[in-house]
Amino acid sequence: MAQAFRRVLVKLSGEALAAPDGYWLYAQTLAELAADIARTSQAGFEIAVVVGGGNVIRGARMAQAGWIDRPTADAMGMLATVMNSLALETALNAAGVSARTMSAVSMPSICETYARQPALHYLNRGQVVVLAGGTGNPFFTTDTAAVLRAAELRCDAVLKATQVDGVYSADPKVAPDATRFDTLTHDEAIRRDLKVMDTAAFALARESRLTVIVGSIHAPSSVQAILAGEAARTIVAP
């Protein structure tokens, strides 16, 4: 399946930014990710980024512990994504590409509030837009935020950069004989119950007929190589 992607939303997990010792940010990883995204932007791709907050806090997990309610825990998680986004914005600017953080949770003294038209303007101008604050509402994951923003911003695809190099028939970490899919349709992924992303996010991707690309964030893979088809990936398309 040969497909050309120009405007792509990259979904990064917060855990991808964590240090080996568990500290929430690791300067080397942040710089490497920023350099990769900067090269991708400079190669002609238009890039938006959504970063999770799981390296700092997971709202759903905290709520399950029972000592704080879910809306409050999710609000704390949204704040974590803002911190991660500001760190990535700084690293991207240092890597030589103009980046702007826009937050769904309004905090104008810290970063710009997300609005669709300004975000489209920045993308058209070749800037990387880092989208923070999730959807701005509790009970929705950053996967859902990524698909929502990709649909709003007329992206060609969502690249979910994960710990593995695609979608497998089973968890490759526990099933050595698991096979990786090169391509899937949305319907096939649902029928096989493959964990491409959380259910609400994937349902929205299917409804929006939005292509989802799954690839590894770890070397020798890279965002640019995955999008160019030079690294292993799975493409889930209508």
- In the chain, where the domains are located: 7-237
Q: What percentage of the chain reaches a pLDDT higher than 90?
A: 74
- Residue 109 has a CB neighbour count (10 Å cut-off) of 4
Note if the pTM is more than 0.75. Answer: yes
Q: Helix 142-152 to helix 116-124 angle, to the nearest 10 degrees?
A: 70
Tokens of 58: 């997971």
Please check the confidence at residue 1 and state whether its pLDDT lies above 50: no
CB 143 within 8 A of CB 12: no
Domain 7-237 class in CATH: alpha beta
- Is 165 within 8 Å of 221 (Cβ atoms)? yes
Question: Are the CB atoms for 48 and 37 separated by under 8 Å?
Answer: no
pLDDT over 50 at 52, yes or no? yes
Over residues 181-193, the pLDDT tens digits come to 999 999 999 888 8
Per-residue pLDDT tens over the stretch 196-237:
898 899 999 999 999 999 999 887 888 999 999 999 999 999
Other CB atoms closer than 10 Å to residue 86's CB: what's the count?
17
Residue-wise pLDDT for 93-109, tens only, equals: 999 999 999 999 999 99
CA 80 to CA 139: how far, in whole Å? 15
Kindly indicate the confidence band of residue 34, based on its pLDDT and cuts at 50, 70 and 90: very high
Phi, psi of 203 (to 5 degrees): -60, -40
Q: Give the separation between CA 30 and CA 26, rounded to whole angstroms.
A: 6
